[in-house]
A and B are shown apart, each in its own frame.
Chain A
């Protein structure tokens, strides 16, 4: 039995795990669910040896276990199957399966290819798949890559004399329904020889494959169920936790949208992502899109943000028909995109607050063809006051600000650029509760000023709480639309029914 007791882990500024206990019994599939940021991945990384806990212990068959890296974990029969990205695409299937373990095929420093290829075929035969082991991984489908990953984990069987523990991190997120069936069948047939931990946020799948399910929320395990004793909606309640207490989302400040239509999508579609999506966003209106990963909602925001041109249907921005082929064109049409990865896409971290604010539109501080630094500072100081940005000053580098304040700088930039449409892509990801509330306040203010807002968010709660209307998507289609005006918020369970 593999167990973790009292595991805590914090990263700079956030506590990712708080006193987590879980155990994985022999021949068992354990499900692990939770929203993004609930701590699932951190826990998996600790179990796989790639992160070390700040406190708490791991035990294997009652013996304390210290894991310094992935190799240590592998030595104890703990293998991790990552999402599809963890194969090296420039190498063959066999090379990937035995990566880091080539020594068993090496004599006098020379690698025996034939033996390695044969061994790889045997590993793949264990899970009953027929993949050419000399093919490059880049030529494989996602489903095939997943199988290769599983085979890679199973190589541990030969070197470890206890049943394996295999950690599956969101293995289904890129698979089609029929591929998922195949994967699940393999897992079931391997159960007699190994235990599995299965991480996902698709509750139905977790219940289908697991014997027991742990639910995580805000870095803690909040519930443990036997799969046959619980239903998906019930788990979802627990996963989301907080009931709908409205003032968290500043509902009293929710204003009534104006009549002017700012964005109009009709039968909009992108091949392979979403299709027949129609909606309108009025001035001052917040439209939320709910849906699981892969439902197509991310792609919709990317289409309107100019990253992903539509292949069908029409998009109108303020009475002009558009088809953006670059984000620059979207910016020119006064669309501001607030990405989830602030550090990667949202801010230039080593530039100052002032420089980041004027990044999208320098013209307002240009005087005679040159940047007027005085004007730029003045503008920045204005925004710092208006948005209550906590910073040592306009010249401070953005990397020194906290997440919430960085988010405000991004908003200030788009306001400076005169944006009338904002796309909020997970605007509160990684922020603590206080910072979230400040962002909510700001969103309400912007909406009251007549800005049209398209929102996608980590939690259903937030989507419902902030929006005037919520579209629900599944498999690239809009399956339902809910009114979410003040005092008229729909219930999460109703939305969930349309999502999964």
Chain B
């Protein structure tokens, strides 16, 4: 992005075209077009959609998916997948409510509870990365296992019931507002900003793209694949932890189902935004658009009074359509 802006217009134009022709250019902007068209259609069908109150609601319900999807984006850019979203989130939420003021024990660690929650989730991510690189377990299986380890552990610690979060400061993340938006929205935006910096302005971001684009070449260029993978999964765990904290603050409690459906939402957002499942293409900007598409669509369907089951079906259709429309699948030799 930035590099194009820095150049004189003529070079910018040239590099733009050299990015491989009209088809790809069209595709790169397709998700944004879909988002705009979607907003217009919903606004026509039900003008309540563009009321400030509703837009704030959309932003608020996008906060947790956006934070989650930031983590997921890095993993998918690597060409891997992280299924441990729901496990990591529920562990973070569990750690948070049990260490902060709650109705089940006498702990009162305040903001330390938040740090501990995010740290716990980050450690789970690092563990996934470690399993994958050291024991050579494919990310699909490693994170599937970590998902259930995390979920089982957190439900056990909660004693199978819901524990209420009673720390007012932490609850304020969901309840108090700044410039009209709940703090959770601002935190999600901060997470997005951090992700942008990581992807476009740091070495690790560059190396994640390189591994997604061609692991063997990356290795020959002296990149430590193991290190990059472990850090990427740790990073994903960090974002999942932040999302877990936000979800617990919004809900005011932690329970067994706090993370239900979050994996699907995160993967859908990343894919709908145009990040390739094969890795190396796309990024967190795409994911922002993807999250908004998913959230706006869900909001619109509620406004239009569509049955929740049909809503699910539509989301399923959307993820398949997104993959179908994306990129050069026909150049892929083998589909597994």
Complex contact B197–A110 (CB within 8 A):
yes
Nearest Cβ on chain A to B218's Cβ, whole angstroms: 7
A109 at the A/B interface (Cβ < 8 Å)? yes
Binds B, one of A20-28, A83-91, A187-195, A406-414: A83-91
Complex contact B14–A132 (CB within 8 A):
yes
Nearest Cβ on chain B to A242's Cβ, whole angstroms: 35
| A:232-264 near B, CB below 8 Å | none
In the complex with contacts A50-B220, A90-B209, A113-B3 CB distance below 8 A: yes
| B206 (CB) vs chain A CBs: closest residue | A102
**A226 to chain B: which residues have CB within 8 Å?**
none
Size of the A side of the interface (Cβ < 8 Å), in residues, is 35
B269 at the A/B interface (Cβ < 8 Å)? no
A100 at the A/B interface (Cβ < 8 Å)? yes
B212 at the A/B interface (Cβ < 8 Å)? yes
In the complex with contacts A103-B203, A113-B3, A114-B6, A136-B222 CB distance below 8 A: no
Complex contact B197–A135 (CB within 8 A):
no
Complex contact B19–A139 (CB within 8 A):
yes
Bound CA span A415–B203, Å:
55
Complex contact A69–B222 (CB within 8 A):
yes
**A136 to chain B: which residues have CB within 8 Å?**
18-20
Complex contact B221–A100 (CB within 8 A):
yes
A223 at the A/B interface (Cβ < 8 Å)? no
Complex contact A134–B210 (CB within 8 A):
no
Complex contact B3–A117 (CB within 8 A):
yes
Q: Would you give the 0/1 interface string for B210-223, flagging 1 where the beta carbon is closer than 8 Å to chain A?
A: 10111001111111
**A82 to chain B: which residues have CB within 8 Å?**
220
Nearest Cβ on chain A to B284's Cβ, whole angstroms: 15
A99 at the A/B interface (Cβ < 8 Å)? yes
Q: B206, B210, B212, B220: which has the most chain A beta carbons within 10 Å?
A: B220
Residue in contact with A134 in the complex, picked from B15, B218, B220, B222, CB distance below 8 Å: B15
Residue in contact with B218 in the complex, picked from A88, A92, A102, A111, CB distance below 8 Å: A88
B280 at the A/B interface (Cβ < 8 Å)? yes
A16 at the A/B interface (Cβ < 8 Å)? no
Q: Would you give the 0/1 interface string for A103-115, flagging 1 where the beta carbon is closer than 8 Å to chain B?
A: 1001001110110
| A94 (CB) vs chain B CBs: closest residue | B3
**A95 to chain B: which residues have CB within 8 Å?**
206, 209-210
Complex contact B19–A89 (CB within 8 A):
no
| A99 (CB) vs chain B CBs: closest residue | B221
Q: Would you give the 0/1 interface string for B274-309, flagging 1 where the beta carbon is closer than 8 Å to chain A?
A: 000000110000000000000000000000000000
B201 at the A/B interface (Cβ < 8 Å)? yes
Q: A70, A90, A140: which has the most chain B beta carbons within 10 Å?
A: A90
Complex contact B223–A89 (CB within 8 A):
no
**B176 to chain A: which residues have CB within 8 Å?**
none
In the complex with contacts A87-B217, A90-B213, A90-B281, A132-B18 CB distance below 8 A: yes
Complex contact B202–A110 (CB within 8 A):
yes
A138 at the A/B interface (Cβ < 8 Å)? yes
Complex contact B210–A91 (CB within 8 A):
yes
Nearest Cβ on chain B to A349's Cβ, whole angstroms: 15
| B7 (CB) vs chain A CBs: closest residue | A134
**Chain B, interface SS category:** helix
| A114 (CB) vs chain B CBs: closest residue | B6
B107 at the A/B interface (Cβ < 8 Å)? no
Complex contact B223–A135 (CB within 8 A):
no
Complex contact B3–A134 (CB within 8 A):
yes
B11 at the A/B interface (Cβ < 8 Å)? yes
**A451 to chain B: which residues have CB within 8 Å?**
none
A74 at the A/B interface (Cβ < 8 Å)? yes
Complex contact A135–B14 (CB within 8 A):
yes
Nearest Cβ on chain A to B222's Cβ, whole angstroms: 4
A71 at the A/B interface (Cβ < 8 Å)? yes
B136 at the A/B interface (Cβ < 8 Å)? no
Nearest Cβ on chain B to A69's Cβ, whole angstroms: 7
| A82 (CB) vs chain B CBs: closest residue | B220
Q: Would you give the 0/1 interface string for A126-159, flagging 1 where the beta carbon is closer than 8 Å to chain B?
A: 0000001011101110000000000000000000
| B:1-31 near A, CB below 8 Å | 2-4, 6-7, 11, 14-15, 17-20
Complex contact A138–B280 (CB within 8 A):
no
Nearest Cβ on chain B to A292's Cβ, whole angstroms: 26
**A100 to chain B: which residues have CB within 8 Å?**
218, 221-223
Q: Would you give the 0/1 interface string for A389-431, flagging 1 where the beta carbon is closer than 8 Å to chain B?
A: 0000000000000000000000000000000000000000000
Bound CA span A109–B197, Å:
10
| B211 (CB) vs chain A CBs: closest residue | A88
Bound CA span A136–B11, Å:
13
Q: Would you give the 0/1 interface string for B61-92, flagging 1 where the beta carbon is closer than 8 Å to chain A?
A: 00000000000000000000000000000000
Complex contact A109–B14 (CB within 8 A):
no
Complex contact A89–B14 (CB within 8 A):
no
Complex contact B201–A88 (CB within 8 A):
no
Complex contact B213–A89 (CB within 8 A):
yes
**A110 to chain B: which residues have CB within 8 Å?**
197, 201-202
**A69 to chain B: which residues have CB within 8 Å?**
222
In the complex with contacts A132-B11, A134-B4, A106-B214 CB distance below 8 A: no
Complex contact B20–A99 (CB within 8 A):
no
Nearest Cβ on chain A to B207's Cβ, whole angstroms: 8
Nearest Cβ on chain A to B156's Cβ, whole angstroms: 38
Bound CA span A351–B195, Å:
45
Bound CA span A11–B319, Å:
45
Bound CA span A99–B202, Å:
12
**B18 to chain A: which residues have CB within 8 Å?**
132, 135-136, 139-140
**A70 to chain B: which residues have CB within 8 Å?**
219-222
Bound CA span A106–B202, Å:
8
Bound CA span A50–B280, Å:
24
Bound CA span A110–B2, Å:
14
Complex contact B221–A90 (CB within 8 A):
no
Nearest Cβ on chain B to A475's Cβ, whole angstroms: 27
| A:50-97 near B, CB below 8 Å | 50, 69-71, 74, 80, 82, 85-92, 95
**B213 to chain A: which residues have CB within 8 Å?**
88-91
**B281 to chain A: which residues have CB within 8 Å?**
90
Query: Known contacts A135-B19, A138-B20; can you find 10 more A-B pairs with CB under 8 A?
Result: A70-B219, A74-B222, A88-B214, A88-B217, A91-B210, A99-B217, A102-B206, A113-B3, A114-B6, A132-B11
24 contacting pairs across A/B (C-beta < 8 A): A74-B222, A85-B217, A86-B217, A87-B217, A88-B218, A88-B280, A90-B280, A100-B221, A100-B223, A102-B206, A103-B203, A106-B202, A109-B202, A111-B202, A113-B3, A113-B6, A114-B3, A114-B6, A117-B3, A132-B15, A135-B15, A135-B19, A136-B19, A138-B20
Residue positions of A touching B, CB distance < 8 A: 50, 69-71, 74, 80, 82, 85-92, 95, 99-103, 106, 109-111, 113-114, 117, 132, 134-136, 138-140
Q: Which 10 A-B pairs have the closest CB atoms?
A: A71-B222, A100-B221, A139-B18, A88-B213, A100-B222, A90-B213, A90-B280, A135-B18, A99-B221, A135-B15
